[in-house]
Each structure stands twice: as structure tokens, then as C-alpha cells.
Amino acid sequence: MKFLVLCLGNIGPEYADTRHNVGFMVGDYLAKKHDASFELGRHAFTTEIKHKGHTFVLAKPTTYMNLSGKAAAHWLSTLKIPKEQMLVVTDDLALPFGKLRLKGKGSAGGQNGLKHIQETLGSDEYARLRFGIDATFSKGRQVDYVLSPFSADEKIDLEGRLEKAAEAVLLFGTVGLERAMNVVNVK
């Protein structure tokens, strides 16, 4: 079976290590672990990895975060797969750093990439893996916060947290959404 893993972030070196790009980081982690390289495609850098008989197409949109729906629609159509076989990996301010939350549907929760995907697909019924980036910023400084690098303390733990997120992506494809949620969403 084939899955689309849409890893959200912004292109460009100025965004590379920012909290908002944690989706890209998860995609990069998976690609590295499977000796895969991203290539520029329409609306995204993409690569394929195989795991337990399943194919995962990792896509890092080139549309910037707020227009991620373009990449989602294009790659779902190109791959000829239903949105039930798509997992969106994104940052989440409402979760503590590194905390993961896997859901099968729901609101965008203020995340503009998810909002555009929902508008473009006309549905909120697609899986998403939210990676907590915490919300330790002063009032009115949200944009600066999400576009800033992780703290020194967070960077120490980041690799291990990315590994857990990568495991969650592979679980989604190999055991299904419900069973993966039971593993990933443990308190």
C-alpha cells in the first residue's frame, strides 16, 4: 500500500532549523534513516521510502506553509490515493515540546498550513501528526516564536523526539490509524 506523508514547513535556509519546520525535520529524519534523497517535484521536494511492504512518499511542500493545500491536492491526485492514506506532519503550539498527537480528523487549530489543506480538499477528515513546539512566547510574538530555532535545551532532545515522530509515521502506514493512535497518544 502507498501513503503520502506531507511534512509541513517553509523552504529556504532562513527557515531550516525553526520550530515551524519540524514537519520538514521529520521528513528529513525518515529519508536519512532509509538512505533516501529528496528531489524537486511539482509543489514539493519528494522521495520514497519502503517499510514492511509499504511505500511512503515523503513530500516537503515548496509552496510555503500557508499554501500547503496545493501540494496535498497535487500529490494525492498524482499518486491516485485517497486522503485516508495521507498523513500531514506539522508543528503544534498547544502541545509541550516533543509531545506527539495523532488524529484522524479535526480543526486546523490555528495552524495555517492545515487550514489551507482543509480549504483545498474541502474536508478536515485526513490524518495529522502534531509535534509539540510549546508556547513559551510573549503576547503578540507568536510569529517570531514559530520562526525561531529550538532552544539549546530543546536541541539536546530534538533527535530523540524526531525519532519518535518518525516511528509514528511508519506505524500509521503499517498498523493503521486507530492502532497507531493507541500507541502514539499515550499520556
Among residues 20, 43, 74, 116, which one is catalytic? 20
pTM: 0.95
Neighbouring residues of 186: CB distance < 8 A, sequence distance ≥ 6: none
Closest CA to 97 of 11, 171, 155, 13: 155
Q: Which residues are annotated as a binding site?
A: 15, 64, 66, 112
pLDDT above 70 covers a percentage of the chain that reads 99
Boundaries of domain holding 48: 2-184
Report whether 182 contacts 101 (CB < 8 A).
Answer: no
- Domains in the chain: how many in total? 1
Closest CA to 24 of 90, 72, 123: 90
Query: Quick one: pLDDT at residue 141?
Result: 80
Residue 96's Cβ-count burial label (10 Å; 0-12, 13-18, 19+) is exposed
Chain centre to alpha carbon of residue 89: 1
* 34 a catalytic residue: no
The CATH number of residue 50's host domain is: 3.40.50.1470
Residue 1's Cβ-count burial label (10 Å; 0-12, 13-18, 19+) is exposed
Q: Which of 109-113, 132-136, 137-141, 152-156 has the lowest mean pLDDT?
A: 137-141
pLDDT-based confidence at residue 140 (cuts at 50, 70, 90): confident
Q: Which residues are annotated as a binding site for tRNA?
A: 15, 64, 66, 112
Please state the rounded mean pLDDT for residues 46-57: 98
Query: Quick one: pLDDT at residue 187?
Result: 60
Please state the rounded mean pLDDT for residues 134-156: 87
